[in-house]
Amino acid sequence: MAGERPHSFTHHGITVEDPWHWLEDEDYPTVDDEDILAYLEAENDYFEASMAPYQDLIDTIFEEIKGRQPGELASLPRRRGEWYYQWRYGEGSQYRQWLRWPASVPDAREGPPDDAEVFLDEPHLAGDLEYFRLGSLSFSNGASLLAYSTDTDGSEQYTLEIKDLATGELLPDRIERVRGRAVWTPDDLSFFYTVLDDNGRPWQVRRHVLGEPVGSDAIVHEQPDAGLFVWVSDTASRKYIIVSEGDHATSERRLIPAEDPTSEPILVAPRRAGHDYSIDHQGDRFVIMTNDNHQNFRLAIAPEDDPTEASWETLLHGSDSLYINHFHLTEQFVAVEERIDGLDQVRVIDRAGNSTHIEFPENAYTAYISSDPEFDSDTIRVTYTSMITPSTVFDYHLDAGELEERRVQEIPSGYDASQYVTHRALAPARDGVEVPVSIVRHKDTPLDGSAPLYIYAYGAYGSAVSPSFSTSRLSLLDRGFIYAVAHVRGGDDLGYHWYEAGKLFQRTNTFNDFVDVAHYLVEKGYGSEGRIAISGGSAGGTLMGAVVNQAPELWGVVATQVPFVDVLNTMLNADLPLTPPEWPEWGNPIEDKVAFEYIRSYSPYDQLKPGEYPPLLATAGINDRRVTYWEPAKYVAKLRAVKTDDNLVLLRTDMGSGHGGRSGRSAWWYETAEQFAFILSSLGLVE
**Which residue among 190, 391, 535, 538 is the active-site one?**
538
Q: 76 near 82, Cβ under 8 Å? A: no
| Strands (DSSP E) found in 371-433 | 379-385, 392-397, 402-408, 420-428
pLDDT at 92: 84
Work out the widest C-alpha separation in the chain, in whole angstroms: 74
pLDDT at 625: 87
**Residue 637 confidence (pLDDT) above 90:** yes
**Which residue among 247, 659, 663, 682 is the active-site one?**
659
Average confidence score pLDDT of the chain: 95
Residue 361: band (very low, low, confident or very high) from pLDDT cuts 50, 70, 90: confident
pLDDT average, residue stretch 619-640: 95
**Residue 633 confidence (pLDDT) above 90:** yes
pLDDT at 390: 96
**Measured CA distances, 379 to 79, 334, 350, 395 (Å):** 11, 11, 13, 6
Q: What are the DSSP calls for 34-77, one per residue?
A: HHHHHHHHHHHHHHHHHHGGGHHHHHHHHHHHHHTS-SSEEPPP
Classify burial at 533, counting beta carbons within 10 Å of its beta carbon; exposed 0-12, middle 13-18, buried 19 or more: buried
Nearest to 473 by CA among 439, 426, 523: 439
**Which residue among 624, 663, 681, 682 is the active-site one?**
624
**Residue 657 confidence (pLDDT) above 90:** no
**Residue 544 confidence (pLDDT) above 90:** yes
Instruction: Check whether the bond before 29 is cis (ω within 30° of 0).
Output: yes
**Residue 557 confidence (pLDDT) above 80:** yes
pLDDT at 600: 98
Q: What are the DSSP calls for 133-168, one per residue?
A: EEEEEEE-TTSSEEEEEEESSSSS-EEEEEEETTT-
143 Rama class: left (phi>0) / alpha (psi -120 to 50) / beta: left
Nearest to 304 by CA among 255, 349, 246, 359: 255
Is 442 tagged catalytic? no
Q: 587 near 505, Cβ under 8 Å? A: yes
| Model pLDDT for residues 306-317, shown as the tens digit of each residue | 999 999 999 999
pLDDT at 371: 85
**Residue 341 confidence (pLDDT) above 90:** no
Element containing residue 642 per DSSP (H, E) = helix 630-642
pLDDT at 2: 83
Q: 567 near 599, Cβ under 8 Å? A: yes
Whole-number percent of the chain with pLDDT over 90: 92
Residue 85: band (very low, low, confident or very high) from pLDDT cuts 50, 70, 90: very high
| Model pLDDT for residues 142-169, shown as the tens digit of each residue | 999 999 999 999 999 999 999 999 999 9
Is 284 tagged catalytic? no
The secondary structure of residue 86, as a DSSP letter, is: E
Element containing residue 518 per DSSP (H, E) = helix 508-523
Q: State the amino acid at position 356 in one-letter form.
A: T
Q: State the amino acid at position 557 in one-letter form.
A: V
Residue 528: band (very low, low, confident or very high) from pLDDT cuts 50, 70, 90: very high
Residue 646: band (very low, low, confident or very high) from pLDDT cuts 50, 70, 90: very high
| Model pLDDT for residues 505-520, shown as the tens digit of each residue | 999 999 999 999 999 9
| Model pLDDT for residues 213-264, shown as the tens digit of each residue | 999 999 999 999 999 999 999 999 999 999 999 998 999 999 999 999 999 9
Element containing residue 620 per DSSP (H, E) = strand 616-621
Average the pLDDT over each of 319-323, 542-546, 559-563, 654-658 and give the range with the smallest value. Answer: 654-658
| Model pLDDT for residues 263-315, shown as the tens digit of each residue | 999 999 999 999 999 999 999 999 999 999 999 999 999 999 999 999 999 99
Residues 389 and 469: their CA atoms lie apart, in Å, by 6
Whole-number percent of the chain with pLDDT over 70: 100
- With b for 16 or more beta-carbon neighbours within 10 A and e for fewer, the 50-73 pattern comes to bbeebeebbeebbebbbebbeeeb
Residue 372: band (very low, low, confident or very high) from pLDDT cuts 50, 70, 90: confident
Q: 611 near 552, Cβ under 8 Å? A: yes
- In this structure, the dihedral spanned by the alpha carbons of residues 652, 657, 658 and 659, taken in order and rounded to 10 degrees, is -60
**Residue 606 confidence (pLDDT) above 80:** yes
- With b for 16 or more beta-carbon neighbours within 10 A and e for fewer, the 397-406 pattern comes to ebeeeebeeb
**Residue 661 confidence (pLDDT) above 80:** no
pLDDT at 665: 82
Residue 436: band (very low, low, confident or very high) from pLDDT cuts 50, 70, 90: very high
pLDDT at 269: 98
Angle formed at CA 389 by CA 383 and CA 392, multiple of 5 degrees: 30
Q: 45 near 37, Cβ under 8 Å? A: no
Average the pLDDT over each of 40-44, 90-94, 208-212, 525-529 and give the range with the smallest value. Answer: 90-94
Residues 526 and 521: their CA atoms lie apart, in Å, by 5
Q: 153 near 658, Cβ under 8 Å? A: yes
pLDDT at 658: 73
Is 538 tagged catalytic? yes
pLDDT at 526: 98
Residues 171 and 164: their CA atoms lie apart, in Å, by 7
| Model pLDDT for residues 382-408, shown as the tens digit of each residue | 999 999 999 999 999 999 999 999 999
Residues 92 and 644: their CA atoms lie apart, in Å, by 45
CATH number of the 8-66+419-682 domain? 3.40.50.1820
pLDDT average, residue stretch 173-181: 96
C-alpha gyration radius of the chain: 25
| Model pLDDT for residues 406-419, shown as the tens digit of each residue | 999 999 999 999 99
pLDDT at 349: 97
| Model pLDDT for residues 183-215, shown as the tens digit of each residue | 999 999 999 999 999 888 999 999 999 999 999
322 Rama class: left (phi>0) / alpha (psi -120 to 50) / beta: beta
CB within 8 A of 475, min separation 6: which ones? 61, 64, 65, 673, 676
